[in-house]
Amino acid sequence: MTSALSKRNELPEKYTWNLLSVYPDDDAWEEAIATMLARLDRAVEYRGKLNSPANLADFLALSEEIYQLLGRIYVYGGLPSNTDTNDQKALANMDRIRGLFGRALAGLAFAQPELIAIGFETLRTWMAGDERLALYAHQFDRLERQQEHVRSGEVEEILGMVTDVFATMNATHEVLANGELVFDPAAGRDGATYPVTQSTIRAVLGHPDRALRRSSYEHYADTHLAYKNTMANALSAGVKADVFMARARGYADSLEAALKSNFIPAAVFHNLLDTFQKNLPTWHRYWALRRQALGVEQLFEYDLKAPLSRGTREIPYEQGVDMIAAGMAPLGTEYVSILRRGCLEERWVDVLPNEGKRMGAFSSGSKGTHPFIMMSYTPDLQGVSTLAHELGHSMHSYYTNREQPIMSYTEYGLFAAEVASNFNQALVRAHLLETEPDPEFQIALIEEAMSNFHRYFFIMPTLARFELEIHRRVEQGQALPAGDLIKLMADLFGEGYGSELVVDEERVGITWAEFHTHLYSNFYVYQYATGISAAHALADRVLHGPAGAADDYLAFLKAGGSRYPLEVLQLAGVDMASPEPVEKTFAVLASYVDRLADLLARRGADHS
């Protein structure tokens, strides 16, 4: 771990993403914006004129151009706001892009009501006679299923206009968290200090020095607590926006709006939370094992990522790519060669931490661009795992964008997206467990697995329970003051931690403020847990299942959003309408705990 971060302009170019592959310079970006606005003006002229197959086909083609341009405009102009949250030009560009999206949504809002008025039988007749319209069969089917929640053209235009306004709540929280919070440095046992930033906090919390971990955790939480009222106000406004949109579209509540609009049965959400609560004893057992292995009388949240393995193997970025490529070999040479080219030649990945870089990692892109990855790579198994995860997203986008003819079919949604990302981690992990016999490396691998499960199969379901309750409160006319949010969050985590971990109510309770992206997306987080469940079912199928399982999985990647979420996963070989994949994934989690317990016991016996 270094004691200082590089400035953005000090990073080696090869470890930064190549946004110039989208547009060569700002002038070209501005020209694209002008072109998009001109296309939008033309599209608006079709209002009231979608009453013939030719006009409708022309309008839809024009809409495709608009949204594809918007995607490229966002990638070039919007992504830099994540790598330097103090870059005022980048922040201004991102605000401008949100306005462009809102303008497009408002301008094109007349289309859905007019399509509904035409009638779906008529649309099916038109599609049979016009191959240009036949492309949109699934899009029309989606609209037919959602038609009761589509409002008049005038109302749809207003709802499109307010998206930019409503996005301000999330943007305010994000700017505050990533650009303006200043964390005190963490101090270790030796008196040395280390920077605490959004891009370094995960690495510091995984340091073997407990004093350093405690210091970093407390400084990180306390700084968020200092702004708890501002953040609570932003989150409250975000939830109110969700409730407003649900009511405006005639849904029973915000949960129904989130699920039904994405064609997810309510049972999927409730099965997940019920299965999670039923399996909490598996987590309690892991906390007990971790406390014993660390040799501490009490376990605190800053101990959850403390290394149990002795000695660490440094894994440079390029070697990490090699490990991932080897793990993904069951999907074939094409998949692996595309992945390697993206990481090592085409600069899909913004690799290193730098001053002002936002927390976390993500994959983003659009049809016609590379699928870009932002992360802060650490030269360890956690860094490899994060890279594998984001490459799952990026390869999903690569295949979808290549195979699907229209933009609406490249939007596959988070429910499917988190399958691809966790699938990559599962395959790479399985490969390393099989090929790396060193017991200490095996312990480190299980730690990495448990860290990933902790985020996706513990934190995310807990946040989903939190999200459900705060939406219910707003729907009942209640307020969301910071103190109530902190208490609710601490109570939910307390249930998950059981008696094995000491819950610092204020610091554990402020966790919601540290998820400033996730909690503004109306029941977003549960899909991380369903995603990891489907991923492990499919990884097992590819590694140990029928011939052709890898081809089934690649068909899922290529299908994108051209089918409904549960259908596209059935194509790959898993049924998420059943709680079985979640139950099976808890069995995988339990097997990791068993394996870790055995490895630690053998290590103890060897040293006795």
Spatial separation of the C-alpha atoms in residues 72 and 75, rounded to whole Å = 5
**Sheet order of strands, 362-364 included:** 349-350, 372-374, 362-364
Three-state secondary-structure class, residue 591: helix
Residue that is written with structure tokens 């399958």 in the block? 419
Given 390, 447, 467, 475, the catalytic residue: 390
CA distances to 93, 405, 608 from 103, in Å: 15, 24, 69
Distances (CA, A) of 442 to 252, 349, 475: 49, 27, 48
* DSSP collapsed to 3 states, 13-73: HHHCCCHHHCCCCHHHHHHHHHHHHHHHHHHHCCCCCCCCHHHHHHHHHHHHHHHHHHHHH
Distance CA 318, CA 323 (A): 9
Largest CA distance in the chain: 83
CA distances from 223 to 193, 206, 551, 553 (A): 17, 20, 48, 44
Active site residue 567: no
Pairwise CA distance, residues 209 & 187, whole Å: 10
Residue 119 CB neighbour total at 10 angstroms: 11
Question: Among 185, 206, 203, which Cα is nearest to 194's?
Answer: 185
Question: Is-contact 400 560, C-beta < 8 A?
Answer: yes
CA-based nearest residue to 358, from 9, 95, 80, 92: 80
Which of 320, 351, 325 lies closest to 337, judged by CA?
325
Count Cβ neighbours within 10 Å for each residue of 560-574 and write b for 16 or more, e otherwise: bbbbbbbebbbebbb
| Token pair recorded at residue 82 | 């994540």
> What's phi and psi for 355, nearest 5 deg?
-55, 130
Which residues have a catalytic role annotated?
A: 390
